[in-house]
Structure 1
């Protein structure tokens, strides 16, 4: 019997595996690994992630998507290179890593793929199909280049050029990213009750790791939020118009990153600025704030980072001559 690809919620998906008797669970896992049945192995991995992963059924859709893709790619590699999934050779895991690096993948991206493949093996061990852990001693070289250098923020001039071409909707979305420093998933999850334009703050209820926080609004963001509410909020001329993919209490009528990218990239294109995604906007917020207040802890809180090191390494930078004022008179 072949498992049907998951189309329900995470809990229902997990039950397609956890309701099996141990021997049947093991049999299906062994069969899928032996046949390199990609769909079934992805299903098993996601069931394990939901059942035994750190976030369980609350694992974010983005993480689920990344692990599904990473598992699929590893199984395809194993099929193309005659890797025995249940009894891999002791060099097979490192060969996979080296294969990705030789193909031009960056170490950070390779690490994500290794995390997915390792999760597949945890799932196989969970199912009783094998006891091997081939990625335990495999290594991915560290990338010493700071994240702020590899993926720099948008410049002040670029953002100003885009804002001049943006409409009310695009301006509001851009300010949420580049001033409030919101992740795109956090922005798309906002409801009207989360916005307090008069108090110049907004409530993020669906932050990374399910952590909520209150974020201060810049003057420009508060103004953009008022204008957006007038047009798209309850009672506004555009509130009921058009089809919605989200409940009416949500600020944005769409919930997908793909649709948000479509809208914001139009403003970038009109301004002649290359759209490099949403993260350079968050990095703009981090960089500008750290140069202004020089407090990594407060900037980390604004961006919703659990660790100040994340802010220090990847999202903010001080100017090279930042200490010249402090050193004056030495």
Structure 2
């Protein structure tokens, strides 16, 4: 079985093709012939040793796959490593059969990033009609879905993106206003100007100064959900900033929902329905060959891509 393994921590050069024994199926698990493996910032952090749940090297990265089961049915699934391979064994409670009519690339975009966007908006931030929502990296995997989900819920959406092309994409996805996030200079003021005032809810995944700028753009009793730190900077928040505006900050990490399938059942059902109805359109990014995993990590970390990035194992 071909796979991409991390031999040691330290950089993208440690992503190497390797031959592994075929994985064995276990009770309660599904063996999938992998078609697509999702590439995510979590994979980059895991490779660098900065992921919340580190894995000892050597290991095979990849936390989500789309594949074919032995009975011929098509599934998307979450896993803890092992996705960058021709065959993956996943737990049945984290695998969902893909409805007919939903394309492979669209389906895999819904698994990790779709569930993240859905639960950030509706579980953590409790977004409803009338909210003004700030969405970072709005042309990325999570952000592009969050723009559409929040807009469909009746919220006003202010999208942040680092380039003119990405801001154009966010606008086409339905964002009411866009903000240049390539610099943090006067970022709070630019958010307020784009939103026509303070925002009531915000997502954050950059870290550092962006955390402070986003918090300052929140209205009193506003809500901020943090789901990443791409820069690696902590961006510590003074308690007085929270007290003065009665503002709330929550952290979000999708694996905390894995023990109970109920939450994921609800979000997957809603996401599949939205795509089938045609109002939610996953933004498909580049598809790399399995042996190009190193390049995929380079491009993602350098923010050269938009939408959902995958490894096409069949290529």
Say whether the fold is shared (TM-score over 0.5).
no
Between 1 and 2, higher relative CO (CA 8 Å, sep ≥ 6) is seen in 2
- Higher Rg of the two aligned structures: 1
TM-score (norm 1): 0.28
